[in-house]
Amino acid sequence: MADRKTIPAATRLRLFSEAAGHCQRPECLDALFPVELGGNKHIAEMAHVIPHGEAGPRHEDRPEGDFDPDSVENIILLCPTCHTMIDKDPDGFPRNILLGWKQNHVSNLAAKQGIRAYDDRAEVRAAISGVMAENKAIWDKFAPEQGTDFEYDPESEAAKTWSHRMRSVILPNHYRVQAIIQANLQLATEDERRTFAEYQEHVRGLAERHVCGVAGRAIRFPEAMEGMFS
């Protein structure tokens, strides 16, 4: 992690959302919430493509004009091993290579996970229905009810269980559903595209709360997602 100053919550949220919970080095793509840690703690490191100073890795690639090293465009989310690798060999990992990783990350991850474009809507529905059903089952069993003490006591066992399920299962499932739909948007109706946009905002809000620690911005899960590609 960069420690020169705190990376804004909005930037961290975008980074985690765009990385979909996985290291952005295409030869790695390891989960940043590893099973070995219970899926509850992340090992992600925010690596600067261009450093703050004039002596760090890739400093000679600094663009001219106004430049914010803490902008989301200049930070890539990596596992600790890959972060160390790129900083120890900056000549082997120049700016254009790292930016290419960011740009192509979603398609690289989708390929690794076997996500692809389908020929018809029924295939897309089959690909997302099981994942969505798992999330709903976990939500029905563990999600806090409005007005309960659970909401106000984050140290309770119930709250800890819910947070664990959110980070280790629900969010990774959401990222997978998003990748499947993104790869098959050509089969979606205009109404479904609007529903998908609302769904993406819902997931961003969940990540903001449960990964970045910023509460109160998530919109409700759009009910129309239940019939997506039906």
Instruction: Give the three-state DSSP class for 47.
Output: strand
Positive or negative torsion for Cα 81, 86, 92, 96: positive
- pLDDT value for 75: 94
| Percentages (nearest 5) of helix, strand, coil residues in the chain | 55, 5, 40
Instruction: Give the three-state DSSP class for 175.
Output: helix
Instruction: Give the three-state DSSP class for 76.
Output: strand
- pLDDT value for 209: 78
Q: How far apart are CA 38 and CA 34, in angstroms?
A: 7
- pLDDT value for 1: 37
Q: Is the pTM of this model over 0.75?
A: no
- pLDDT value for 186: 95
Residue 31, strand partner residues:
22
Q: How far apart are CA 175 and CA 113, in angstroms?
A: 11
Mean pLDDT, contiguous 10-residue spans, the chain (230 residues): 63 83 92 75 90 87 86 93 95 93 86 87 95 93 66 65 82 87 93 95 82 70 94
- pLDDT value for 191: 96
- pLDDT value for 54: 81
Q: How far apart are CA 39 and CA 25, in angstroms?
A: 20
Residues across the chain? 230
- pLDDT value for 20: 81
- Alpha-carbon dihedral of residues 50, 55, 56, 59, nearest 10 degrees? 20
- E-strand ranges in the chain read 45-48, 75-78
- pLDDT value for 2: 38
